[in-house]
Amino acid sequence: MSVDLELVQRVQAGDKSAFDVLIIKYQQRIVHVITGFVHDPVEALDVAQEAFIKAYRAIPNFRGDSAFYTWLYRIAVNTAKNYLTAKARRPPAMDVDAMDATNFYDAPELKEFETPESHLISVELEKKIHQAIDALPDETAAAIRLREFDGLSYEEIAQALDCPIGTVRSRIFRAREAINKQIQEIMSEGDEQ
């Protein structure tokens, strides 16, 4: 019996501390998954917390048909999508907190020693990659995020997305093609300058 399944059974039997162990084990991975959808780190943490709350409430229904992480991943992705849908319905916030401006001084990325040109290229490249991923269909974007950001195997991705392994390979191939196209555009723009 896997450790995760044993912990789940303990939670189902009323041991709340066993769920704490599952949170500690998967918190970083879940936050990373959610950050692929919700780009603001603070909001991503809130969405991750909400996903764990939903998982805790739903754990009595966990039957062990899939790995616990796969089940938790699906909850996290659905929570992130629901959050983005709800956020799109709200009017945009127009105010900027003065305290946020002071936090920029302490940001570690501002203390790195790199040239302005290389930083600009890195930022532009990262932006294009995220735009390319965001422009993909949800299933394709999820597959490439799981492979490249979470390091999951094709088998794990197929299980998480509930599709055949050939479909996973096809989605990842298409995603990489789209990302490569974006990178080529940046490179050709740089050659023209």
Q: What span, in angstroms and rounded, lies between the C-alpha atoms of 19 and 15?
A: 8
Note whether 176 and 129 are within 8 A (CB): no
12 token code pair: 């189902």
- Is there a single domain that holds both residue 122 and residue 159? yes
pLDDT bracket for residue 179 (50, 70, 90): confident
Q: What span, in angstroms and rounded, lies between the C-alpha atoms of 29 and 26?
A: 5
- Is there a single domain that holds both residue 24 and residue 75? yes
Nearest CA among 114, 12, 100, 103 for reference residue 56:
12
Q: What span, in angstroms and rounded, lies between the C-alpha atoms of 132 and 55?
A: 30
- Quick check: 69 pLDDT over 60? yes
- Is there a single domain that holds both residue 2 and residue 87? yes
pLDDT for 175: 87
Mean pLDDT of the 159-171 span: 90
pTM (2 decimals)? 0.54
State the chain's mean pLDDT as an integer. Answer: 81
* Lowest-confidence segment of 91-95, 166-170, 175-179, 181-185 by average pLDDT: 91-95
125-160 pLDDT tens trace: 777 788 888 888 888 888 888 888 888 888 888 888
H helices within the chain, ranges in order? 3-12, 16-35, 41-58, 68-89, 98-103, 116-135, 138-144, 154-161, 165-192
pLDDT for 72: 93
Q: What span, in angstroms and rounded, lies between the C-alpha atoms of 114 and 120?
A: 10
Mean pLDDT of the 95-118 span: 54
pLDDT for 96: 47
Residue 100 inside a domain? The answer is no
- Is there a single domain that holds both residue 84 and residue 13? yes
Q: What span, in angstroms and rounded, lies between the C-alpha atoms of 71 and 158?
A: 13
- Is there a single domain that holds both residue 180 and residue 152? yes
Number of domains forming the structure of the chain:
2
19-38 pLDDT tens trace: 999 999 999 999 999 998 88
Residue 157 domain boundaries: 108-186
**What CATH number has the domain bearing residue 22?**
1.10.1740.10
Q: What span, in angstroms and rounded, lies between the C-alpha atoms of 95 and 140?
A: 35
Q: What span, in angstroms and rounded, lies between the C-alpha atoms of 133 and 68?
A: 26
pLDDT for 92: 57
